[in-house]
Structure 1
């Protein structure tokens, strides 16, 4: 009986995590496509976002983790500017989205 309870609790937890993940994914994709100025999609390729930019690195090939993406967004890197107009939460959401979309570690 006890194992049924724990099994149901685990399944409920996974379902709730999935329910909350979609809005964050949608927001991250929106930020990638139009939320930043200039938009990330103008320079970067990211298949899950439908982006085919040719200026910056192909993020699908690079597979940066969220910490690396966050650092690049905050500080800029090479010709990429720092995105000072994004809030801390937007930066974290965007970084997690890119890492997740490329299959990298969150």
Structure 2
């Protein structure tokens, strides 16, 4: 019974993190990720950055890009908390079907 409760809590926590990540992708980051990137799950059709559906980056790669910036993409390290960055990375990896 305890392991079932633990699993349910972990799934609820992941669902909350995914919801936060999607919210950040759509409008929580400035500029919003959806402005530049295509991601079908978010209904985003950005044309500046790579299509995340095609790239399918894992969560570690997304977190690194968000923290440090890459190419013309700015760093979000000063504007998003580590928890927010991890939630955003988890969401993108999950939405594209990439490894987490």
Query: TM-score, length-normalised on structure 1?
Result: 0.84
- Give the 5 Å matches for 1:2-21: 12-21=5-14
Partner of residue 26, structure 2: 33
Partner of residue 90, structure 2: 96
| 1:82 equivalent among 75, 85, 88 | 75
Partner of residue 24, structure 1: 17
Q: Point out where structure 1 has 5 or more consecutive residues left out of the alignment.
A: 1-7
Q: Deviations over 1:59-78 (max 9, x none)?
A: 01000011110111111111
How much does 1:25 deviate? 1.1
CA RMSD after TM alignment: 1.4
Tell me which of the two structures has the higher relative contact order, counting C-alpha pairs closer than 8 angstroms and 6 or more residues apart: 2
Partner of residue 53, structure 1: 46
How much does 1:50 deviate? 1.1
For 1:74 and 1:67, how far apart are their aligned partners in 2? 11
Query: TM-score, length-normalised on structure 2?
Result: 0.89
How many residues matched?
99
Which protein is bigger by CA-based radius of gyration? 1
Secondary structure at the aligned position of 2:71 is classed as: coil
For 2:7 and 2:82, how far apart are their aligned partners in 1? 27
For 1:47 and 1:10, how far apart are their aligned partners in 2? 34
Say if 2:99 is the partner of 1:105: yes
How much does 1:20 deviate? 2.3
For 1:62 and 1:9, how far apart are their aligned partners in 2? 39
